[in-house]
Amino acid sequence: MKIVLLGLFVTFPVLFYLVFGIDGVVLGIFFDILLLFLGVRIVRQNRVKIVEFLGKYNRILRPGFNVIIPFLEWTKDQDLYKTNFHVAVDGLTGDNVSVAIGLNVVYFVKNDDESIYQSVYEIDNPEILIRATIDEQLRAMISTFTHKEIYTKRHEMGDAIEEALRIKLNQFGYTLDSIQVQDIELDQLVLKALNRIIETEKMKEAALNEAEAKRITMVKEAEADKESKKLLGEGMAEQRMAISKGFKDSIEEIKASDESLTGKDILKFLLDSARIETLEKVGKNNTKVIYLNENLEASAGASRVEKFLADK
């Protein structure tokens, strides 16, 4: 190629010199500059250019400054950077539920001459190959899952598709970087039904929790009430015992002071003492006075005292 270019650069000045004389040399140099300008190719990073000489593959231009033979050589561009390609597949699960799955495929051309040649001349559109391979693999896998299982099989589907697609792309100079299963969408009616089921289960769980909380509260309240009544009963029993003991001690002291006193006399003395104590409290705030039948109280008390004294 360098020899051809050098020959062209020399040919134009000589040819124009023979035709136009010394002025033709200047014209020949002008054509050489124009020829050089048309033959310059600047290749950017992560890209290459495939050179065809008269329609046949010749060589590959790498990033940087390059020169081709104008009018005899032409170039085709090929990118080496990673490409993201989104694929959506619709299918039916094993229980006849429609599902749409979205995948993102990342692929690139391997950076060697053979792979670059294959990617340009052996396949027209790699995205058609990618879509067809994914569609074939994914539809077959979806039919083996139920709609409840499909969400848990994300990684399994991605791994199976990646293995099959990697083999396909390698045949045409491409390398598969990764596959991500991004979106899994069930039919809207089925999705609404699932949401209702989940909502019902949550409500049922909440009702059970609330009922359990109420049961625990009622048990605790019953236990507290039981304990309270138990303590109250013990307190009343101890109070009665203390009153009885005090009553007994009072009678014995009174009887010891004067053995001639009868049961009625002792009872009358005790009742008078209690009445005086009650009258002291009548004048205090929020005091309530309850009127009792003193005759009944006196007769009942006298009977008990007389029996007690008789026992003594």
Please check the confidence at residue 142 and state whether its pLDDT lies above 90: no
CB-based contacts of 223-228 (< 8 A; 24+ apart in sequence):
none
29 vs 155, more confident? 155
- 3-state SS class at 71: coil
Domain containing 109 — which CATH number?
A: 3.30.479.30
In a domain, 250, yes or no: no
Angstrom distance (rounded) from CA 23 to CA 282? 147
* 133 and 55 fall within a common domain: no
Q: What is the pLDDT of residue 79?
A: 92
How confident is the model over 90-117, as pLDDT tens digits? 888 887 778 888 899 999 999 999 999 9
How confident is the model over 25-64, as pLDDT tens digits? 666 666 667 777 788 889 999 899 999 988 899 999 999 9
* 89 and 153 fall within a common domain: yes
Angstrom distance (rounded) from CA 268 to CA 251? 12
229 vs 162, more confident? 162
Angstrom distance (rounded) from CA 260 to CA 185? 107
Q: What is the pLDDT of residue 104?
A: 92
In a domain, 244, yes or no: no
The DSSP result for 111-138, as a single string, is SSHHHHHHHHHS-S-HHHHHHHHHHHHH
* 182 and 90 fall within a common domain: yes
* 34 and 117 fall within a common domain: no
Q: Which of 142, 160, 186 is the last residue of a domain?
A: 186
How confident is the model over 235-268, as pLDDT tens digits? 777 766 776 676 666 666 666 666 666 666 666 7
Ramachandran area for residue 55 (φ above 0: left; ψ -120 to 50: alpha; else beta): left
In a domain, 173, yes or no: yes
pLDDT tier for residue 286 given thresholds of 50, 70 and 90 = low
166 vs 182, more confident? 166
In a domain, 200, yes or no: no
Q: Which amino acid is at 182?
A: Q
* 161 and 107 fall within a common domain: yes
Average pLDDT over every residue of 272-295: 61
What share of the chain has pLDDT > 70, as a percent? 63
* 179 and 115 fall within a common domain: yes
Tracing tokens 């099959």 back to the chain, one arrives at 164
Angstrom distance (rounded) from CA 259 to CA 43? 138
Lowest mean pLDDT among 50-54, 123-127, 171-175, 264-268: 264-268
In a domain, 223, yes or no: no
Q: Which amino acid is at 235?
A: G
Q: What's the domain count of the chain?
A: 3
Domain boundaries, position 67: 2-79
In a domain, 220, yes or no: no
- DSSP summary character for residue 145: S
* 179 and 96 fall within a common domain: yes
* 34 and 113 fall within a common domain: no
Q: What is the pLDDT of residue 293?
A: 53
Tracing tokens 């909380």 back to the chain, one arrives at 213
* 156 and 100 fall within a common domain: yes
Q: Which of 162, 186, 210 is the last residue of a domain?
A: 186
* 144 and 89 fall within a common domain: yes
In a domain, 251, yes or no: no
In a domain, 98, yes or no: yes
Angstrom distance (rounded) from CA 100 to CA 135? 11
Token pair belonging to 109: 């051309």
* 88 and 115 fall within a common domain: yes
Q: Of 9, 117, 118, which is closest to residue 1 (Cα–Cα)? A: 9
Q: Which of 46, 79, 112 is the last residue of a domain?
A: 79
* 94 and 51 fall within a common domain: no
Q: Which amino acid is at 73?
A: E
